[in-house]
Chain A
Amino acid sequence: MTFIKTKIGRRAFIKNTSLASGGLVLGFSILNACKPEQTKVMAAVEMPKEWFEINAYLKIGDNGLVTVYTPNPEFGQNIRTSMPMLIAEELDVDWKNVIVEQAPYHPEKYGFQFTGGSQGIRRRWEPLRMAGATARQMLREAAAQSWQVPIEEITAEGGLLQHEASNQLAGYGEMASAAAKLPVPDEVKLKEVKDFRLIGKSHKNVDAKSIVTGELMFGSDYQKEGMLIAMIEHPPAFGMTLESVDGKAAKAMPGIKDVVTIKSFKDGFEKGGFDTNAFPELVAIVGNSTWEVMQAKKQLKVDWKPIAAQTETISGFRGKETRNIPAGLESTETHMAKIEELAAKKGKLVRKDGNPEEAFNNAAKIIERSYSAPYLAHNSMEPLNAFAHVIGDKVKIAAPIQIPSLIVPTIASSLGIPAENIEMEMPRMGGGFGRKAYAHYVVEAALISQKVNAPVKLIYTREDDMTNGIYRPTYHATYRAALDENNNLIALHVKAGGIPESPLFANRFPAGAIDNYLAEEWSIDSNITIGAFRAPRSNFMAGAEQAFLDELAEAMGKDPIEFRLDLLKRAEENPVGEQNDYDAERYAGVLKLLREKAAWGENKANVHRGVSAYFCHNSYAAHVLDLANENGKPVVQNVCCAIDCGIVVNPDAAKNMAEGAIIDGIGNAFYGELTFQDGVPQKKNFDQYQMIRMADAPKGIDVHFVQNEIAPTGMGEPPFPPIFGALANALYKATGRRHYQQPFISDRPPIVG
C-alpha cells in the first residue's frame, strides 16, 4: 500500500453540507439483509431515494449506486470513462453501479479542468484515485463506528463493507449518510498496481449508447427557450480588420433580429496564451433560426481595412512574451521565399555538444536534407460554437471548450463583469485537437448576448471555422550529418524554423547520442494566427527527424531499427550532455517491442515497410507502416504500433485513440495543406480541403503497449507525430524516391532525393 497525503485539491474534499446534512435518516435500502451476490444484481436496478455527497467527485446513493463527477471536458479521448474508473477503482465499487456525470466548470473544487497536451490522465492519476480512496476510508470509518469495531478489521470491496469476525455486512449505501458527516482523513492508502480490478481492463465508452442514438447533446445542440441564433462575419483575409458595416439589407431579411458589431478585447487588456485572435472586431448577425441567419449573412455589406503593425505582450504558460504582428497581406509564395532565406542563414544557437564545426570540416561525407510542412486547419467535425446568456452582471455559458479557466479573465474583462459571475457548462466537444483551447468564440457569444439582451447560440459555418486562423504553423527543418571514412556518424546538425514559431526540441533524441551536435532555430513573424494542433511542433519534427534517420541508416548500411537502437544504447550508457529530455531505455523498449510484434525483417511481396519512433508528451511511440502499390497508388495496408505510456487505464479505449492518431497522421501527411493568397485562406470547406476518408485509411492497425507500472503518461498525442515518418519511409521503399515536403500527395513536381 502507498500512503498519500490528501493534499491535492483540498477544496474537493470540502463537502456540500446542505446535501450531506439531509441524510440523518437512512432511506429505504434495497441492500439491507441481502447476500453479496444478490446485492450486486439488485443495486443497479433502481435509483436511490437519497444521495450523500462524500466529496466533490462522488456521491453515494442509499442503495449503493455511485455518481461520479468527471472533472475534465471530453472531446473523444474517452476520459469520461477512464477518469471515473480511477475513482471507482479506489472506492472499490462495481463498475455497473457507477453513474457518470460531467462536472461543471468549478476550479476550486475540480482543479485545472484542462483537456489537452496529453495531460488529462497524467494530472488526474493521483487526485482522482485519492478521491475514491478517501471516500472508501470514510465508509469504513462509518462502519467501524456503527459496529463498534476497529477500522483496520473492516474490508471494503465491490461496494460492500464487511466485518468478518462479527459477521456484519453493509452496502456502501447504508453507511453513506454516516460517512458523509465524518471528517476527511489526513492520509489514505492507494492500491498497489497488482491489486487493480478496473484499471488495466477495457471498459466500454459510457457515452456510446447516447452517441449511437443521437441523444448526446454536443455544445452545438444546446437549446434554450427564447434562444436566438448568431453568426459572425470576420475579415476575408489575415491582415484585415473591420472598418464599417451596412447591415440594413441583412436586417430586413426574414427572421433577423439585429446586426451588431463586437470588440473581443477591452483596450489595455493583457492577453493570455490562449487569447489568440486574428479578428477581434467582428460583425454579428442575430436571428430566429440558423438558415435565416445564414441567408441574411450573405446580405451584409462590410468594409474592411488593413491592420497596422503591432506588438503585443502575452502572459502565457512560458511567462510574458512579446509577439510582433506585421501588417500586410501574406501569401504562401512569399512565405516560401522567406523560409529559403532564413534556412540558408545561421540560426539562433540552442544547443551545442562537442565540436560540430570541426567534425563537419573533417567529415568524409556530409548528408544534408531539408523537410517542410504547410499550415494545417484543425477541421474538428463540430464547427466552433457557444451558447451564452448574459443577464445583468452574470453570464451563463455552455460551450465546447478545452481550457475553460483560461478564457474566464477575458470574458470578465470584455463583458465588464466579475469573474465569479461566470457560470460554465462543459458539453462534449465534437473534436478539438487543440483548436477549442482558443475560446474566442465563447467571448464572442457572450458579447453578442449582452448586446442583444437575449440567450444566444453562436454558430460558425464550416467556412468561418476553416478561415478563422489558429492553424498548425508552417515549418521547415534542415538536417546535416557528418560521416567519417568508416561511415560512422560523427556529428549531427539540425536547423529548424517556422512561421511564426520554431518547431525545434533541441534536447530530444538524437541529442545525447552523438558527440558533436548542433541545434539552431529561426522564426518569421506573421499575422496569420497559429495554435496548438495535436502534438504541437512534434507533429512536424518527428516526421523530419525520423525520415532523416532512415536515410542516414541507409547511407551507413545499417538496418533502421538497429541504427536507432545503437544510438539509444549510447545515450543510455554514456549520454552526451546533461539536458536530454528522454529516457533512452524506454525509447529502446518500444522499438524492441515493435520489432517483435511487426515481425520486422520478414519481407512480403509488394509490401514496403517504413519504421519511425518518437518521444513526446512523456510517452514513447513507434510504428511500422506497410504500404502496397495498387494500380500505381500507394495504399496503406497495415500499421503496427508500440507505445509506452506507463500504466494503460482503459486499454481498448487507448487503442482507439492510437488508431485515430495513426489515421489522422496519414491523412495530414498525404493531403493536409492550407495555403494563402494575399491573406486569404485558399481552402474554405471540405470540397477543397482534402480529409482522409475510409478508403484511404489503413486496412488494419494493431496496437501494443509496453507493460510496466509507471504512472500513466500521455496518450492522445504521442502516437500521432511518428506516423508522418513511418509513412515517408515506406513511401521511399514503395516509390524509390524520398518525400521531403508535406503533403506527400500533391500537384507540385517531386524533388528528386
Chain B
Amino acid sequence: MAKFNLNINGKTQTVDVDPNTPMLWVLRDHLKLVGTKYGCGIAQCGSCTIHLSGIAVRACVLTVSAVGNQEITTIEGLSENADHPVQKAWLEVDVPQCGYCQPGQIMTAAALLDNNPNPSDSEIEMAMNGNICRCGTYTRIKKAVQLAAESNNS
C-alpha cells in the first residue's frame, strides 16, 4: 500500500492503495466516482475512458502509480451541469439506449474534439473505434460528435 495525491476533476484526492491498482478501481471503489465503467479490464471496450492531461486513456490499464501529478478528468468532471458541447450534442441527438458505455464514449469524443475540432467522418470513426456500444448506437454517436464539432466551430 502507498499514498497517492491525485489531481482529479480539479481537486486533490488522497488514496492509500496498492501502487498497481488501476485508476478504474481507484475511482470506483475508493473515490466513489462510479461514472467511469468497467467493461473488459484489458483496454478493449473503452467504457472506462478518462482524460489524463487531456488525452483519452483507458482507466482499467492505467495504474495509480503512473499518474503522478498529471490532471485527471472523469465524466463527473467534464462539465458543471451537462453543458459540455459533447454532452449537449448527446442530449440533442438522444443517443443512449442502456447508457452504460456512454460516459466512455463521451470522454473519447471530448478528447477527440479538443485535439481536432473539425474531424472528418473517417477521423471520427478512427477515434471512436475503441469504444464498444453493445446496444448499437454508433450512428447516433457519430451524429452527436459531428453536431458537437459544428457547435464548437460556429
Residues of A at the B interface (CB closer than 8 Å) are: 74-78, 204-205, 207-209, 211-218, 220-221, 223, 229, 254, 289-292, 294-295, 379-383, 428-433, 459, 461-462, 652-653, 656-657, 659-664, 667, 685-687, 691-695, 697-701
Instruction: Tell me the bound Cα distance from A229 to B17 in angstroms.
Output: 16
Pick from B44, B76, B97, B140: contact of A78, CB under 8 Å: B97
Chain B residues in 8 Å Cβ range of A218 = 37, 99-100
Q: Are A290 and B99 in contact (CB under 8 A)?
A: no
Residues of B at the A interface (CB closer than 8 Å) are: 1, 17-18, 20-22, 25, 28-30, 32-42, 44-45, 47, 74-76, 78-79, 82, 87, 90-91, 94-103, 106, 121, 124-126, 128-142
Q: Are A430 and B45 in contact (CB under 8 A)?
A: no
Chain A residues in 8 Å Cβ range of B76 = 213-215
Q: A381-B45, A383-B38 are in contact. Are A663 and B103 (CB under 8 A)?
A: no
Q: Are B140 and A291 in contact (CB under 8 A)?
A: no
CB distance from A96 to the nearest CB of B (A): 15
Chain B residues in 8 Å Cβ range of A382 = 37, 39, 98, 100
Pick from A209, A429, A660: contact of B136, CB under 8 Å: A660
Residue with the greatest number of chain A CB neighbours at <10 A, chosen from B20, B28, B126: B28
Pick from A216, A657, A691: contact of B134, CB under 8 Å: A691
Chain B residues in 8 Å Cβ range of A700 = 139
Residue with the greatest number of chain B CB neighbours at <10 A, chosen from A215, A380, A686: A686
Chain A residues in 8 Å Cβ range of B139 = 659, 663, 697-701
Chain A residues in 8 Å Cβ range of B128 = 693-694
Q: Are B96 and A212 in contact (CB under 8 A)?
A: yes
Instruction: Tell me the bound Cα distance from A290 to B30 in angstroms.
Output: 10
Between-chain CB contacts (< 8 Å), 23 pairs: A75-B98, A76-B97, A76-B98, A208-B90, A208-B91, A212-B91, A213-B82, A214-B33, A214-B36, A214-B74, A214-B76, A215-B35, A215-B76, A289-B29, A289-B30, A290-B28, A380-B100, A382-B37, A383-B39, A462-B42, A657-B97, A692-B136, A697-B139
Closest chain B residue to A74, Cβ basis: B98
Instruction: Tell me the bound Cα distance from A74 to B98 in angstroms.
Output: 8
Q: Are B134 and A381 in contact (CB under 8 A)?
A: yes
Chain A residues in 8 Å Cβ range of B102 = 211-212
Q: Are B41 and A660 in contact (CB under 8 A)?
A: no
Residue with the greatest number of chain B CB neighbours at <10 A, chosen from A215, A291, A433: A291
Q: Are B142 and A431 in contact (CB under 8 A)?
A: no
Q: Are B103 and A223 in contact (CB under 8 A)?
A: no
CB distance from A715 to the nearest CB of B (A): 12
Chain A residues in 8 Å Cβ range of B74 = 214
Instruction: Tell me the bound Cα distance from A727 to B134 in angstroms.
Output: 19
Chain B residues in 8 Å Cβ range of A381 = 37, 39, 45, 47, 98, 100-101, 132-135
Q: A220-B38, A254-B1 are in contact. Are A290 and B29 (CB under 8 A)?
A: yes
Instruction: Tell me the bound Cα distance from A461 to B141 in angstroms.
Output: 27
Instruction: Tell me the bound Cα distance from A205 to B34 in angstroms.
Output: 21
Q: Are A653 and B126 in contact (CB under 8 A)?
A: no
Chain A residues in 8 Å Cβ range of B41 = 294, 461-462, 685
Chain A residues in 8 Å Cβ range of B129 = 693-695
CB distance from B102 to the nearest CB of A (A): 5
